Amino acid sequence: MHTAEILSQGDEVVTGQTVDTNAAWLSTQLTGLGYQVVRHTSVGDRLADLVLLFREIGARSQLCVCTGGLGPTDDDLTAQAVAEAFARPLQLDPQALADLVEKYERAGRQMPAVNERQAMLPEGSVRVDNPWGTAPGFAFDGGGCFFVCLPGVPREMKGMFDQLVAPLLAERFAVRPGSLVTLRTIGVGESNLQQLIGPFDEPDVVLSYRTMLSENHLKLRFDPEVGEARITQVVESLASKVGKWVFTIEGLQSVSEALAVFDTSGGSHVEVTARHLADGGHTLATAESCTGGRIAAACTSVPGASAWFLDGRVTYSNAAKVALLGVTSEALDAHGAVSEVVARQMAEGVRTRAGTTFGIGITGIAGPGGGTEAKPVGTVHLALATPERTRHRLLRLPGDRERIQRLAVASALELLRRTLVS
Amino acid sequence: MHTAEILSQGDEVVTGQTVDTNAAWLSTQLTGLGYQVVRHTSVGDRLADLVLLFREIGARSQLCVCTGGLGPTDDDLTAQAVAEAFARPLQLDPQALADLVEKYERAGRQMPAVNERQAMLPEGSVRVDNPWGTAPGFAFDGGGCFFVCLPGVPREMKGMFDQLVAPLLAERFAVRPGSLVTLRTIGVGESNLQQLIGPFDEPDVVLSYRTMLSENHLKLRFDPEVGEARITQVVESLASKVGKWVFTIEGLQSVSEALAVFDTSGGSHVEVTARHLADGGHTLATAESCTGGRIAAACTSVPGASAWFLDGRVTYSNAAKVALLGVTSEALDAHGAVSEVVARQMAEGVRTRAGTTFGIGITGIAGPGGGTEAKPVGTVHLALATPERTRHRLLRLPGDRERIQRLAVASALELLRRTLVS
């Protein structure tokens, strides 16, 4: 197996001003291509540190992808550090300079003299063009390692990696990628998933967990030589154990009969739910109290939501619940705003008024204040009005205000999704 | 100056499954305490790599904070690596074991035998208790470096650092923290900020930039010996250059006359705006189309928003705009839903119906589809109805759907804030 490292340069990373998301992104890509990423290192804008680090990595790794330090200012030191570390003096790359001048010309500006620096590449290195920004990258051999240096701007770095670096690596290293299948779940924690799955010890596949907002993902990374039949067998076994918590499976090349009961089109929880809604020709309206517009915001994050998301009402006050949803004063007086009766009236009220297939009503106590012994912070009443009946759930959600609101949104969308697929 | 490093352990970090937010958080804390953080390193769950790395760091740094690898399973290797790297064999810490047993007892469970491992600490190390979880941390001298090993769970790690590690470091190192003043801005990009500020080269203060969602922060880190008068002078000079884009200044010990025109209570953009609203006894209602509930969600992210956020309406369809806001069919027919007239009618309609001081109306094209030559993706009409008049802004926002929606929310709240402070 080929080992790889990642090196991030920049004071903003080591001082904590920036979270290094580039490193995680590159790791995912390299792991997907079949490399074993063994180390990430970040250093600040200090030449001596960088030179030392380049030499260390050159002595121990086969591949290193570096980000940052390619800008035009004095604290952009990557090329200079490479020059010193591996005796590769900087040389003007005429094509790089011509590209830079042209980029400025196209923007109607003259290139500042300071940017000429960005066309000075270490001797014997291969230029990696940057159609997404100004600074070109470069690749070279140093010690026993193949280094690829890219800019730190995520959009530029990602574009260059996907379109230019990945093909460069494929030419250079005989590494075959395995297959990756992801089971995306919602509403179940990582430890419960582990319990559902039980011991998992297969020689040809690695199982890992990843949490993404309200979702928990099960990632199955199969060795390159594993065939379709074996992949299907493992996924079927896992999916049957996790069952209803799986809302989509990503990365399958073919779908067996046993897997056909699952959605296999992929996407986030709200995207999958939206697709079920749209495919069925249904429409939705929402009436939110404790989630304050988050369910509407989640729905309208999906492009084309205007086809099915017709109306959202954020009724934070009791007066708005009465005026906008037809919630009755009797219900509010007898049960309080945070109650099953009011949640049902909200769901039914918004569905009727908006004329939609479904209506969601949600009311609860997100905190930090407002909790009582009978209705502590985290108490949420959720209702879904359908053409046939209104379903209700009482949720007791943990965490702070932000977490309670986020979990409440996920619960509402999941109740809708389950209703759509049942 | 004392140098510090950060070491993160875990396969989930090096394979990119987890973005290492612990490292950025710890860097910010250590920088704030007066340390110079020079390097972050992440390695996977491999004993040989860890042992090597501990020795490397021991030979070059004065302080290293490590996270992860303290769990009860076989891939939790930190203590064992320390034992091998520095000849500090693992020993049972009776107090650590008693704490573990008690934690399980309080949860009504018996401690699994496997967890006993977590009470085995390297010889001569100091235990760092963990009231937030099971695994205790520990600190020790290795090579010439003081190491502190903490669990990787952010909540536990942060609690332990703040309450136990920071005091431990204060005892150990004579490091004085400098003063940190942050000017939080909105609506202006980093390069424009740099242009407004011009050359900044002061011997006793470091200026840095940080982007946080729609905000750009200017961070001024003063050397420990710098006094109040000098801090005030630098902040006044900078604030006068950036002017109206500054919505709050954080970290001032005293507020001079020139700085009194700025808000100095701190907080996020929505928190500051909410405070101005609440302090003035005002109330707000929102009518959203292209932002789909995001303005309401931002408002209701602030605890206690029910005192001033009375009503939000997400009117994605024209029918809802007419029914819920009183937008006229004439306006929709003559100008289209994305127009100044409709934005104004939305703002005034929701303000009147909800009976609030202010009403926000917003309509636009968030994309990716739906754009035309006259109204390309990113066209947003924003209106704010006040008791006196209705203000309007035409925005041309860049980026994808998510970015356009986010920028539109920030613009709406900023128009409200400016109106409140003017």
Beta pairing class for B179-186 and B215-222:
antiparallel
Mean pLDDT value of segment B234-240: 96
Q: Six-digit token pair at B102?
A: 């008690």
> The sheet that has B309-314: what strands, in order across it?
A390-396, A379-385, A358-364, A284-288, A309-314, B309-314, B284-288, B358-364, B379-385, B390-396
Cβ B287 vs Cβ B347: under 8 Å: yes
Closest CA to A137 of A161, A154, A111: A161
* Chain A residues touching residue B299 (CB < 8 angstroms): 292-293
Name the CATH topology of A271-421: Maf protein (3.90.950)
Of A103-117, B346-360, B374-388, the one with minimum mean pLDDT is: A103-117
Residue with tokens 């779908």: A255
Kindly provide the b/e burial profile for residues B90-108, where b requires at least 16 CB atoms within 10 angstroms of the residue's own CB.
beebeebbebbeebeeeee
Q: Per the CB < 8 Å rule, is B293 touching A306?
A: no
Q: Per the CB < 8 Å rule, is B311 touching A316?
A: yes
Q: DSSP string of B193-230?
A: HHHHH-----TTEEEEEEEETTEEEEEEEE-TT--HHH
Q: Per the CB < 8 Å rule, is B303 touching A25?
A: no
Mean pLDDT value of segment B310-316: 94
Rounded CA separation A123/A131 (Å): 22
Type of residue numbered A18: T
Helices B47-60 + B78-86 axis angle, to 10: 60
The number of C-beta contacts closer than 8 angstroms across A and B is 233
Of A13, A314, A354, the CB nearest to B293: A314
Vertex A348: Cα angle to A343 and A352 (nearest 5) = 150
Task: Check residue B320 and give its pLDDT.
Answer: 92
Q: In this structure, is the dihedral angle defined by the CA atoms of residues A145, A146, A151 and A153, taken in order, positive or negative? A: negative
Mean pLDDT value of segment A332-336: 97
Residue with tokens 């790791």: A27
* Chain A residues touching residue B4 (CB < 8 angstroms): none
Type of residue numbered A146: F
Among B5, B14, B46, B294, most A C-beta atoms within 10 A, so best to mutate, is B14
Q: Per the CB < 8 Å rule, is A296 touching B301?
A: no
Type of residue numbered A393: R
Residue with tokens 């304050």: A292
**Phi, then psi, of B315 in degrees rounded to 5:** -110, 85
pLDDT digits (tens, 9 = 90+) for A144-154: 999 999 999 89
pLDDT digits (tens, 9 = 90+) for A64-74: 999 999 887 77
Closest CA to A120 of A105, A135, A110, A104: A135
Closest CA to B51 of B20, B24, B83: B83
* Chain A residues touching residue B60 (CB < 8 angstroms): none
Rounded CA separation B286/A245 (Å): 36
Bridge partners of B311? Answer: B285
Rounded CA separation B291/A54 (Å): 47
* Chain B residues touching residue A27 (CB < 8 angstroms): 14-16
Query: CA of B44: which chain A residue's CA is closest?
Result: A38
Task: Check residue A344 and give its pLDDT.
Answer: 98
Task: Check residue B45 and give its pLDDT.
Answer: 85
* Chain A residues touching residue B309 (CB < 8 angstroms): 292, 316
Alpha helices (H) in A15-93, listed in sequence order = 21-33, 47-60, 78-86
Q: Per the CB < 8 Å rule, is A316 touching B312?
A: yes
**Phi, then psi, of B351 in degrees rounded to 5:** -65, -45
Q: Per the CB < 8 Å rule, is A49 touching B31?
A: no
Task: Check residue A339 and give its pLDDT.
Answer: 97
Query: CA of B9: which chain A residue's CA is closest?
Result: A39
Q: Six-digit token pair at A241?
A: 């154990």
Residue B277 clears pLDDT 90, i.e. is over it: yes
Q: Per the CB < 8 Å rule, is B313 touching A310?
A: no
Query: CA of B299: which chain A residue's CA is closest?
Result: A292
Helices B318-325 + B340-354 axis angle, to 10: 40
Strands of B178-305 (E only): list them.
Answer: 179-186, 205-212, 215-222, 246-250, 284-288
pLDDT digits (tens, 9 = 90+) for B320-370: 999 999 999 999 999 999 999 999 999 999 999 999 999 999 999 999 999
- Residue A225 CB partners (closer than 8 Å, separation 6+): A204
Type of residue numbered B263: D
Cβ A188 vs Cβ A256: under 8 Å: no
Task: Check residue A76 and give its pLDDT.
Answer: 82
Query: CA of A47: which chain B residue's CA is closest?
Result: B38
Q: Per the CB < 8 Å rule, is B368 touching A320?
A: no
A147: Cα within 13 Å, side-chain hemisphere: 31
Q: Per the CB < 8 Å rule, is A354 touching B315?
A: no
Q: Per the CB < 8 Å rule, is B303 touching A367?
A: yes
pLDDT digits (tens, 9 = 90+) for A376-398: 999 999 999 999 999 999 999 98
Q: Six-digit token pair at B373?
A: 């030559």
CATH 3.20.20.70 fits B269-421, yes or no: no
Closest CA to B294 of B410, B127, B172: B410
Q: Per the CB < 8 Å rule, is A15 touching B26?
A: no
Residue A399 clears pLDDT 90, i.e. is over it: no
Q: What is the mean pLDDT of chain A?
A: 93
Q: How confident is the model at residue B420 (pLDDT cuts 50, 70, 90)?
A: very high
Task: Check residue B284 and give its pLDDT.
Answer: 98
User: pLDDT > 70: what percent of chain A?
Assistant: 100
Fold equal for B179-250 and B269-421: no
Mean pLDDT value of segment B241-263: 95
Residue B198 clears pLDDT 90, i.e. is over it: no
Minimum distance, in Å, between the CA of residue B333 and any CA atom of chain A: 18
Minimum distance, in Å, between the CA of residue A291 and any CA atom of chain B: 7
Q: How much of chain B is in helix, strand and coil states, percent to nearest 5? A: 40, 25, 35
Task: Check residue B176 and give its pLDDT.
Answer: 85
Q: What is the mean pLDDT of chain B?
A: 93
Query: CA of A53: which chain B residue's CA is closest?
Result: B39
* Chain A residues touching residue B402 (CB < 8 angstroms): 301
Helices A47-60 + A78-86 axis angle, to 10: 60
Of A17, A38, A401, the CB nearest to B44: A38
A117: Cα within 13 Å, side-chain hemisphere: 16
* Chain B residues touching residue A316 (CB < 8 angstroms): 300, 305-306, 309-312
Candidates 3.40.630.10, 3.40.50.300, 3.30.70.2860, 3.30.56.10; CATH matching B179-250: 3.30.70.2860
Closest CA to B63 of B118, B9, B105, B4: B4
Q: Per the CB < 8 Å rule, is A41 touching B39?
A: yes
CATH class held by domain B3-172: alpha beta
Question: Would you kindly state where each structural domain of chain B is located, as residue ranges?
Answer: 3-172, 179-250, 269-421
* Chain B residues touching residue A402 (CB < 8 angstroms): 301
**Phi, then psi, of B358 in degrees rounded to 5:** -125, 150
For residue A219, the surrounding DSSP H or E stretch is strand A215-222
Residue B73 clears pLDDT 80, i.e. is over it: no
Q: Per the CB < 8 Å rule, is A315 touching B314?
A: no
Task: Check residue A241 and give its pLDDT.
Answer: 96
Mean pLDDT value of segment B185-199: 86
Task: Check residue A97 and give its pLDDT.
Answer: 94
Cβ A66 vs Cβ A149: under 8 Å: yes
